[in-house]
Amino acid sequence: MSAAHRDGVTARPEADFELIAGWIPQIVWMAAPDGSIEYFNQRGTDYTGPPREANCGRDWGRWLAPGDADGAAQAWRDAVAREVPFATELRLRRSDGEFRWHACSAQPIRNSDGAVVRWVGTLIDIEKQHLAERRTAESLSLLETLQSTALVGFGFVDRDFRLVRVNEALAATTGISIAQQLGRTVEDVIPELWPELKPVYQRVLETEEAVVNAETTGELPGDPGHVHTWLTSFYPVRVEAEVIGIGILVVDITERKAMERELNHLAEHDPLTGIYNRRKLLVELGRALRYAARYDHAGAVLMLDIDNFKLTNDSYGHAAGDHVLSSVAQVLVSRMRESDVVARIGGDEFAIVLPEVTEEYALIVALQLRALLCERPTGPPVHVSIGVASFGGNARLTADDVLVAADIAMYHVKEAGGDQAAVYNGGLGELLSRVKDLREGLAEKRFVLHAQPIIDLRSDAAVCHELLIRMVSQDGAIIPPGDFLPIAERFSLVGEIDRWVIGQALVLAQHERVAVNLSGRSVGDAGILAAVRTAIAAGLDPSNLIFEITETAMMTDLTRAGTFVSALAELGCDMALDDFGTGFGSFTYLKNFPARYLKIDMEFVRDVNTDPTAAEIIRSIVRIAHTLGKKTIAEGVEDAEVLQTLRELGVDYAQGFHLGRPQPFTLPVAGRSDTSFFEQRLAYQEDLRSLRAHSRK
């Protein structure tokens, strides 16, 4: 610029302006009255790139983004023509080519005559503000989209309870269109629910705390007679800390509530018969017991089991079996009072809780039920075994206690032939104590094994030892198996006992050939098979294991038992069919059963010298066994005369008190030589040589 006076403006002020502008962090520019650029401060020069002289005298629109140039240039020309202040937002190109948003403004500079002699303007970088605004706008747009398209009902109510915002989901959930809701109060829109909702709205406004999961029920205007349930969340909406209204989220949970009711029903009811299941029975029986104890009232439980139900399933199919179960349930429900509880607690087992009855009355009811089921007007008669157990007074009994007693009574009926009812009178306290002791013994593993030798009648050597379990009482006394195995068998505890015995046998079989008994419940136990496989893989000789299975266990489920026994045989273990001769189908499936040994039941062995029939049965068993390539073992040999007769009949092996009583043993421990059991075996062999010599004299 010239230092001379020009247009009424001295050179000094311009010099001062340029000095000041050079220090300003924003872009400062000046333009001629016609709008052409005359000046950029250093910030502008640094920003746009070319030297200051190259920028001056040119239209600044060339630095703008293509989309902004035409509009901004035209607005600038209009301001210049009208000589009015100019302001706009535009994108300015940086020296690296990036476009950034700037706030552009300019003021006309007039001389003393009022004529515009220059324009002074600034360009302020507002890229961050623009970015924040864009993000806010995008968020608001996204929120708007989410609210309008969300499956959850959304609305906003002002402090006067007027609906200001409603999305489509809320309209669909309530059955009231958006137009019918906007601008109206909640009371006007849903007057039937307002008494229930008003306290909630007021609570949110007064406490400014969210209220979540408030359930309301009602009918929709377009769906009369159908009650809906809504789950609603209410929360305060604030602007600068002031609550301006209430946001609401609404979900129609009618179907979910129906599903919950259905699931609750399934959790408490038997799906086949529709009556209560075992879980619900225990709850109701527990309630009845507490009531009886509190008010010194009486009651009873009936346990029913359908006789020969498995035969029905096997003969006519499971559909016929299901029909029998359903019909039995119908008969039981039709006979019972409203206060009685009827439940199916197992495959073919039912239980009934009879509150406020005596033991005599409960037995009468049981006999009436038996007659009703036996004399059904349609379908074949159903025979049942029923056990009755009473409760009441001050006895502190659990539901399991009473069910055990009723189950015991029913079990005795079964053993007596079934189709009858009986009252448990075996001393409930004593029984419960025995059951408790057994469960504690299982938990504490208070069991020991005794071993009885099995003798080869040709060499008098002990070729194997049968493992026999005993339980140890709390005071250290030895409890024989007859005192606890029947309870374990009846109440499904024998499987755990079997697994413990097998675990011990797998250790002992590393040193000695042993025979171990399997109950009917354990025949088919995959866990036992897995344990045997693992032991064999670790080096156990499978021929050291003999598994003894009774005919009864085999006949319960011949297919399952056959598969299980075949799997053990394939592993190399030996099988013995225990108590042979007592079953009806022995000879029909014997040729297909992979048993190496037949254990002749002691009932025949004891009478072999006094009953010609017993002797002939043993002779036949021996002949058939040898024909099939199997060996025989006689159980229960108690004197020398019986032993000699068995030799003459061709029996291969024998065991019994005469040959050796069961003796306790201790499993060998690593690092310690425990020979007590093996020393006993040698002692048995020495004694047998003497017995043999004596019996032949």
Instruction: List, for residues 573-588, the tens digit of each pLDDT value.
Output: 998 888 776 554 455 5
pLDDT band at 50 (very low <50, low <70, confident <90, very high): low
Q: Which of 570, 550, 554 is nearest to 562 (CA)?
A: 554
Q: Are 163 and 183 in contact (CB under 8 A)?
A: yes
Convert the pLDDT of each residue in 615-658 to its tens digit.
Answer: 998 998 899 889 888 999 999 999 999 999 999 999 999 999 99
Q: What is the pLDDT of residue 379?
A: 67
pLDDT band at 536 (very low <50, low <70, confident <90, very high): very high
Convert the pLDDT of each residue in 499-512 to its tens digit.
Answer: 999 988 998 898 88
Q: What is the pLDDT of residue 128?
A: 84
Question: Is the per-residue pLDDT at 243 higher than 60?
Answer: yes
Q: Are 392 and 294 in contact (CB under 8 A)?
A: no
Residue 343 burial by CB count (10 A; 0-12/13-18/19+): exposed, middle or buried?
buried
Q: What is the pLDDT of residue 98?
A: 84
Question: Is the per-residue pLDDT at 683 higher than 50?
Answer: no
Pair 304, 216 in one domain: no
Structure-model confidence comparison of residues 544 and 674, the more confident one: 544
State the average pLDDT over residues 64-81.
Answer: 82
Q: What is the pLDDT of residue 8?
A: 45
Structure-model confidence comparison of residues 515 and 127, the more confident one: 515
Choose the most confident range, by mean pLDDT, from 124-133, 359-368, 674-683. 359-368
State the average pLDDT over residues 398-406.
Answer: 85
Pair 215, 295 in one domain: no
Q: Are 454 and 466 in contact (CB under 8 A)?
A: yes
Measured N-to-C along each axis, helices 640-649 and 676-695 cross at an angle, to the nearest 10 degrees, of: 80
State the average pLDDT over residues 417-446.
Answer: 80
For residue 309, the tally of other CB atoms under 10 A from its CB is: 19
Tell me the CB-side half-sphere exposure of residue 349, using CA atoms within 13 A: 17
Domain around 197:
150-258
Cα 159 vs. chain centroid, distance in angstroms?
47
pLDDT band at 694 (very low <50, low <70, confident <90, very high): very low
Convert the pLDDT of each residue in 107-127 to its tens digit.
Answer: 998 988 889 988 888 888 888
- Does 333 map to a domain? yes
CATH number, domain at 609? 3.20.20.450
Question: Is the per-residue pLDDT at 134 higher than 60?
Answer: yes
CATH number, domain at 316? 3.30.70.270
- Does 667 map to a domain? yes
Number of structural domains, the chain? 4
Pair 205, 279 in one domain: no
Pair 253, 273 in one domain: no
CA-CA-CA-CA torsion for 563, 566, 567, 568, nearest 10 degrees?
130
Choose the most confident range, by mean pLDDT, from 86-90, 554-558, 686-690. 86-90
Pair 273, 184 in one domain: no
State the average pLDDT over residues 399-425.
Answer: 84
pLDDT band at 428 (very low <50, low <70, confident <90, very high): low
Q: Are 72 and 93 in contact (CB under 8 A)?
A: no
Which of 398, 426, 454 is at the close of a domain? 426
pLDDT band at 589 (very low <50, low <70, confident <90, very high): low
- Exposure class string for 482-491: b at 16+ Cβ within 10 A, else e: eebbebbbbb
CA dist 567 to 454, 455, 535, 572, 573, Å? 25, 27, 15, 9, 9
Q: What is the pLDDT of residue 11?
A: 47
Question: Is the per-residue pLDDT at 59 higher than 70?
Answer: no
Pair 57, 90 in one domain: yes
* Helix, strand, coil in percent for the chain, rounding step 5: 45, 25, 30
Convert the pLDDT of each residue in 308-338 to its tens digit.
Answer: 887 776 667 778 888 889 999 999 999 899 8
Distance of alpha carbon 203 from alpha carbon 205, whole angstroms: 6
- Does 462 map to a domain? no
pLDDT band at 540 (very low <50, low <70, confident <90, very high): very high
- Does 453 map to a domain? no
- Does 296 map to a domain? yes
- Does 86 map to a domain? yes
Choose the most confident range, by mean pLDDT, from 45-49, 485-489, 613-617, 665-669. 613-617
Q: What is the pLDDT of residue 652?
A: 95
State the average pLDDT over residues 72-83.
Answer: 86
Which of 214, 232, 258 is at the close of a domain? 258
Q: What is the pLDDT of residue 10?
A: 45
Convert the pLDDT of each residue in 174-204 to its tens digit.
Answer: 778 888 888 888 888 888 778 888 888 888 8
State the average pLDDT over residues 524-533.
Answer: 88
Residue 579 burial by CB count (10 A; 0-12/13-18/19+): exposed, middle or buried?
buried
Which of 96, 131, 166 is at the close of a domain? 131
First to last CA, the chain: 152
- Does 465 map to a domain? no
Question: Is the per-residue pLDDT at 55 higher than 60?
Answer: no
CATH number, domain at 92? 3.30.450.20
State the average pLDDT over residues 270-296.
Answer: 90
Pair 217, 308 in one domain: no
Q: What is the pLDDT of residue 314?
A: 62
Q: What is the pLDDT of residue 301?
A: 95
Q: What is the pLDDT of residue 377?
A: 64
Q: Which stretch of 114-118, 128-132, 522-526, 612-616 has the lowest confidence by average pLDDT? A: 128-132
Structure-model confidence comparison of residues 380 and 618, the more confident one: 618
Q: Which stretch of 1-10, 77-86, 260-269 has the lowest confidence by average pLDDT? A: 1-10
Percent of the chain with pLDDT over 70: 79
Pair 237, 302 in one domain: no
Query: Looking up tokens 């599903």, which residue turns up?
Result: 259
Pair 252, 281 in one domain: no
pLDDT band at 436 (very low <50, low <70, confident <90, very high): confident
- Does 301 map to a domain? yes
Q: What is the pLDDT of residue 582?
A: 57
Pair 556, 650 in one domain: yes
Choose the most confident range, by mean pLDDT, from 40-44, 226-230, 239-243, 603-607. 603-607
Question: Is the per-residue pLDDT at 168 higher than 90?
Answer: no
pTM check: above 0.75: no
Helix (H, G, I), strand (E, B) or coil at 89: strand
Q: Which stretch of 84-93, 238-247, 397-406, 593-602 has the lowest confidence by average pLDDT? A: 238-247
Q: What is the pLDDT of residue 121?
A: 87
State the average pLDDT over residues 400-422.
Answer: 85
pLDDT band at 679 (very low <50, low <70, confident <90, very high): very low
Question: Is the per-residue pLDDT at 1 higher than 70?
Answer: no
CA dist 303 to 130, 154, 329, 403, 594, Å? 80, 55, 13, 8, 39
Which residues 6+ apart lie within 8 Å of 277 measured at CB?
268, 269, 270, 343, 344, 345
Transcribe 548-610 into DSSP letters. Answer: EEEHHHHHHSHHHHHHHHHHHHHTT-EEEEEEETSSSSHHHHGGGS--SEEEE-HHHHHTTTT
Pair 623, 666 in one domain: yes
Pair 545, 685 in one domain: yes
